[in-house]
Structure 1
Amino acid sequence: MTGKSPVLDILLTTHNGQEFLEEQVRSIQVQTFEDWRLVVSDDASTDGSVELVKSLAEQDPRIELLPERGPFGSAKANFFHAMEHARAPYIALADQDDVWLPEKLERCLARLQAIEAGRGSETPALVFCDAAVVDRDLEIIAPSFSEHADLLVHDLRLQKLLINNVAAGCTMVFNRALLERALVPQAAETVFMHDWWLVLVAAATGVLEFLDEPLNLYRQHGDNEIGALRRNWRSHLITPLTGGLAIRRNQARLLLDHCGDQMRSEDRACVAEYAQMGSGGPVGSLTHLARSGAWGRPAERVGDAFGAVLLGFQEL
């Protein structure tokens, strides 16, 4: 780059990630797509992460460390802070402990730009790829994160996305139109995670696409904040009973308030019903869930039904 603004901003958040951080940065530096800026937001690290980033930035002017603003207390809050500092037309999110394959940015950005060529750059758009799940030494645990975590990546209807997120932030590349639509003041406090919110806004107001290629090494080492959780019938059943349904309901309310006028009518009707869960007592809450059509797999349906009834009792 020679004085011009980069095409893509990579937003990387850190918190005591020194052990794997340099390996992640090096994998970004050898990307086949080179017109990027790496923006690092640190959350009160005490392990030398900040000093490492400063050293790397001295060697590569494309790397920028944001002024200290923490403690944020969560990856979600840190990523929302980083997103406020994105300036480029395209944005990618990066975890501190992964490794990117060299073609990741090139492949994802090409698909994103193809979407814009057909729909216009003013259309919010997000592309997410698959990832290989690896251990701390980069040995393969599972060749496909989407299969390992049982994600419904080929059914991207909004009513399904209200129930479960399908994309890890570290697999995403999205455009500025989506960023501007998603950055609302209430989001950081309301939504479950930043990446789920981006998925919902893209699906509700623009284009969401899955690139069926494992372009990340998604490292699992025991200290991941979320990680590549393997879902099963127990998690599908239990999550709605432990507060997960209320968070999803609150996300739906924010989505309806912020993006309702941009949604297709059938999506807006679904989200509006889902957002009313908890009202009308147990029966009313269950009725709103049923009318929304936002039903998952069998165990999820049972869990959500019980969760809706409990939510109705709690809000009497």
Structure 2
Amino acid sequence: MNKPTSKTVSVVLATHNGAQYVEEQIKSIAAQTLAPLELIISDDASTDNTLQIIQDVLAQCHFSTKIIRNEKALGFRDNFLKACLLARGDFIAFSDQDDVWRPTKLETCSQFFEDRTVSLIAHAATLIDNASNPIGMFRQGITNTTVKPPLSYDPWDTFWGFSMVFRREIIELVDIQDRIIDYIVPSERLAHDRWVMLLGQMVGATAEIKDPLVGYRQHATNLFGSQRRKHSAFDLRRRSEIYIDATSQMLDVVAKMPTDTNESFPLFDKDRCHRFLSSALLQLTRRHTIYESASTSTAFRQIWACLSQGSYRNVHDGSMRWKSLMRDAKFAALGA
């Protein structure tokens, strides 16, 4: 049992044609040992009976609930983030419609609520099948329960939304309409979890919890499964341009941070964030010369220059980006 907390949590659940699983998920939220302040459900123009199921099961809940219906679908990115703007809790927990929460999820996360330096909390999960049977683990690289300082992660990486609990003030730092392009799906603005991760790791510490607190369902209609999207057929030159653009926009986000950000996030260091992202952008622009090379020999010379300049070192911890190096070497050998 964790120490009691005076902080509150709003759960934001985004739905779209989720009739098959949404009842089980809402019941798992209602069964939390630390009850949420409220459950905000934003339905993105469902055409099945998702809303009727929601209304029926909410009658059994003993906390505040709010249902929003988008007559025109916004897409999961904006659906989540616009619903977050309505939250009243000190913290916000994202909830997918098809997962199942362990009863102690919110209580376990609450052990970090009173620490003003912690802006973001993330945890491991259990993979489950259609019938909610466990089929594996989804650790997201989390091996211990610990707190990591700001800027401890790759600027382009994220934890998955269902595993996140974060301070509400994060969503208020920068207008959601000003978020950067989604470097995974560049036709869209950044996804809700990547946006929160970007802001959260800049302004404060991140608590990692090794315990699997959610059953992360795997099925054919997942928007994104437990495996990362692959880019084997993606033109590296174009992908490089997208990441350069996105990282340049990250610097613009830092510039837009309010002058009083430190009042809510005492660890925020604007200059350090700028240097961190500038280093990442410099690495990208240096590596881009490889993809613009006119010959194999020129490409390999550029790779050697990038190695010498440290452009294959992660900006957050200095570790080697071996996969990036191998990918660039393959490009130089076959694609230049």
TM-score class, shorter: 0.7 to 0.9
Residues 69 and 221 from structure 1, CA distance in 2 versus in 1: closer, same or farther, beyond 3 angstroms? same
C-alpha deviations, 1:51-100, integer Å up to 9, x for none?
Answer: 22222334436221014253113x21211221122122111000000000
Residues 112 and 96 from structure 1, CA distance in 2 versus in 1: closer, same or farther, beyond 3 angstroms? same
Q: Matched residues in 2 for 1:169 and 1:156: separation? A: 20
Deviation at residue 105 of structure 1 after TM alignment = 0.4
Deviation at residue 8 of structure 1 after TM alignment = 1.5
Deviation at residue 102 of structure 1 after TM alignment = 0.4
Residues 217 and 247 from structure 1, CA distance in 2 versus in 1: closer, same or farther, beyond 3 angstroms? farther
2:260 matched residue in structure 1: none
Tell me the SS of whatever aligns to 1:228. Answer: coil
Deviation at residue 206 of structure 1 after TM alignment = 1.1
| 8 A contact 2:123–2:142 mirrored in 1 | no
Q: Matched residues in 2 for 1:139 and 1:259: separation? A: 43
1:161 matched residue in structure 2: 154
Residues 293 and 131 from structure 1, CA distance in 2 versus in 1: closer, same or farther, beyond 3 angstroms? closer
2:324 matched residue in structure 1: 300
> 2:109 corresponds to which letter in structure 1?
C
C-alpha deviations, 1:181-229, integer Å up to 9, x for none?
Answer: 2543222755542112211211111111211110100000111111211
Tell me the SS of whatever aligns to 2:89. Answer: coil
- In the alignment, structure 1 residue 43 sits paired with structure 2 residue 36: no
> 2:280 corresponds to which letter in structure 1?
Y
| 8 A contact 2:126–2:213 mirrored in 1 | yes
Q: Matched residues in 2 for 1:42 and 1:80: separation? A: 13
Residues 246 and 62 from structure 1, CA distance in 2 versus in 1: closer, same or farther, beyond 3 angstroms? farther
Structure 2: state its 5+ residue gaps.
Answer: 1-6, 183-188, 258-267, 293-301
Q: Matched residues in 2 for 1:284 and 1:269: separation? A: 25
- In the alignment, structure 1 residue 82 sits paired with structure 2 residue 74: no
Q: Matched residues in 2 for 1:280 and 1:236: separation? A: 17
C-alpha deviations, 1:260-285, integer Å up to 9, x for none?
Answer: 57546454223124346459972699
Q: Matched residues in 1 for 2:205 and 2:123: separation? A: 14
2:217 matched residue in structure 1: 219
So what's the TM-score if we normalise by structure 1? 0.77
Q: Matched residues in 1 for 2:131 and 2:83: separation? A: 28
1:203 matched residue in structure 2: 201
Q: Matched residues in 1 for 2:53 and 2:97: separation? A: 12
| 8 A contact 1:15–1:42 mirrored in 2 | yes
Structure 1: state its 5+ residue gaps.
Answer: 1-5, 308-312
* Aligned pairs for 1:40-79 within 5 A: 40-60=41-61, 62-73=64-75, 75-79=76-80
Q: Which structure shows the bigger proportion of residues in helix conformation?
A: 1
Deviation at residue 125 of structure 1 after TM alignment = 0.2
Deviation at residue 135 of structure 1 after TM alignment = 1.1
* Aligned pairs for 1:139-288 within 5 A: 139-142=133-136, 144-146=137-139, 158=151, 160-165=153-158, 167-187=159-179, 190=182, 191-229=189-227, 235=230, 241=236, 244-260=239-255, 262-263=268-269, 265-275=271-281, 277=284, 282=289
- Among 115, 123, 146, the residue aligned to 1:129: 123
Q: Matched residues in 1 for 2:242 and 2:310: separation? A: 14
1:3 matched residue in structure 2: none
Equivalent pairs, count: 289
| 8 A contact 1:156–1:208 mirrored in 2 | yes
So what's the TM-score if we normalise by structure 2? 0.73
Q: Matched residues in 1 for 2:162 and 2:66: separation? A: 19
C-alpha deviations, 1:118-163, integer Å up to 9, x for none?
Answer: x3xxxx6010111011111122221x312xx667998877374224
Deviation at residue 30 of structure 1 after TM alignment = 0.5
| 8 A contact 2:179–2:190 mirrored in 1 | no
| 8 A contact 2:124–2:212 mirrored in 1 | yes
Tell me the SS of whatever aligns to 1:221. Answer: coil
Residues 201 and 20 from structure 1, CA distance in 2 versus in 1: closer, same or farther, beyond 3 angstroms? same
Structure index of larger Rg: 2
% same residue: 26
> Aligned-residue CA RMSD in angstroms?
3.6
Q: Matched residues in 2 for 1:248 and 1:59: separation? A: 46
- Which moves more between the two structures, 176-185 or 218-227? 176-185
Residues 256 and 159 from structure 1, CA distance in 2 versus in 1: closer, same or farther, beyond 3 angstroms? farther
| 8 A contact 1:14–1:43 mirrored in 2 | yes
> 1:161 corresponds to which letter in structure 2?
D
> 2:311 corresponds to which letter in structure 1?
A
> 1:105 corresponds to which letter in structure 2?
L
